Amino acid sequence: MTTIVVTGIGATSPIGGTARESWDALLRGESGTRSLTHDWVAQHELPVTFAAEAKVRPEEVLERQEIKRLDPSAQFALIAAREAWADAGSPDIAPERILVDYATGIGGLWTLLDAWDVLKEKGPRRVLPMTIPMLMPNAAAAAISMGLGARAGARTVVSACASGTEAIANAYEHLQQGLADIVVAGGTEAVVHPLPIAAFASMQALSKRNDDPAAASRPYDVDRDGFVLGEGAAALVLETKEHALARGARIYAELAGGSVTSDSYHITAPDPEGSGAARAVLAALAQAGATPDDVSHINAHATSTPVGDIAEYNALYRVFGERVKSIPVSATKASTGHLLGGTGALEAVFTILALHERMAPPTINLDNQDEAIPLDVVTSPRPLGDGPLLAISNSFGFGGHNSVVAFRTVD
């Protein structure tokens, strides 16, 4: 198998406008969750009045024309991809050898619902001609492709909250197949909107801690009551190690493997036994040529839902047995909220930096750990030690989608 490496990272998240700003804020234990100040919160009498909105708004970064022609989900994606590309040294290679694997869980929701309002209130002639290109789920991949001149393909995967991780797993396969020399991979989401908030709240999935938003996302805590809706995007530049060395690129880590499985259990609930998720972990490790004993760190999906956190623990126990109680686990959604289709990409960035800097990031808001989840949860920045390190990042989504990626340190 060809060695695949990460040579560029980018992100715009609830805790920072770049990958580095997000990572530094994560290490400081900051929360990106805040009360919403939009008029529509009171207008619709929403039961949840907070979310983890992106810290830096797209209009502060992009050109006016880009804002007008892209849904917020594609705006975030373009920002993250441009940062990652620049971080990789803006590689000078043939456009036909650059591929985009980019994901979203929902797509251009703001565009869709705004256009519906315009149609109802002002009639069909006032609906913008760019509505369809802006709302389609592949808009982010297309925007990145056009922005970077990538002509080897612009592929989109939509698998709910596993989307960003699955895009990275797909990128691994596409590089192994020789379809491109460089792949830009990641995920995005921008659905902090009254409809998703109302819908998620109706299904009892969101935390209702309106009086203390910053403490609302609390994975593994006995008082966890749901996830926090977040937004943003992240991107990786991936290429073969041979290609990276030939152009003198900095290498953050090796993308050692990736996997996709499905539960075939329930449209929203995870398999409580965690069998599908466990198979995904084992498959990613097998592709990496590794065993469970090689894993040094886990970035867990850990959404802060009562059922989901336990299901993931059960999956990890299936894989690691009693050793899972001594592997440093970070649950970074406590700081960032849940970016849905973008969350796996952001957590991949955090996992890569954890290996690159040999530091596991903290999980905030864990005041009273659930005894049913006896993991070694990192609550303050913790050194990961010397020698070779291998880490996994887990993502699981509605529909029973499971995806896991494995990263390894590079000498």
Q: Which residues are catalytic?
A: 161, 301, 338
Q: Where are the alpha helices (DSSP H) in 253-362?
A: 275-287, 306-320, 333-336, 343-356
**The two three-digit tokens of residue 224, written as one number:** 């966890």
Distance separating alpha carbons of residues 260 and 227, to the nearest angstrom = 23
Using an 8 Å Cβ cutoff, are 379 and 362 in contact?
A: yes
End-to-end CA distance of the chain: 18
Buried b (16+ CB within 10 A) or exposed e, 207-244: bebeeebbbbbbbbbeebbbbbbbbbbbbbbbbbbebb
Q: Which of 270, 274, 336, 267 is nearest to 299 (CA)?
A: 336
- Dihedrals phi, psi of 113, to nearest 5 degrees: -75, -35
Residue type, 111: T
Reduce the DSSP state of residue 282 to 3 states and report it.
Answer: helix
- Dihedrals phi, psi of 401, to nearest 5 degrees: -80, 130
Residue type, 242: E
CA dihedral 219, 232, 214, 396 (to 10 degrees): -10
CA angle, residues 232, 335, 380, in degrees to nearest 5 = 140
**The two three-digit tokens of residue 404, written as one number:** 């896991």
Angle between helices 343-356 and 19-27 (to 10 degrees): 70
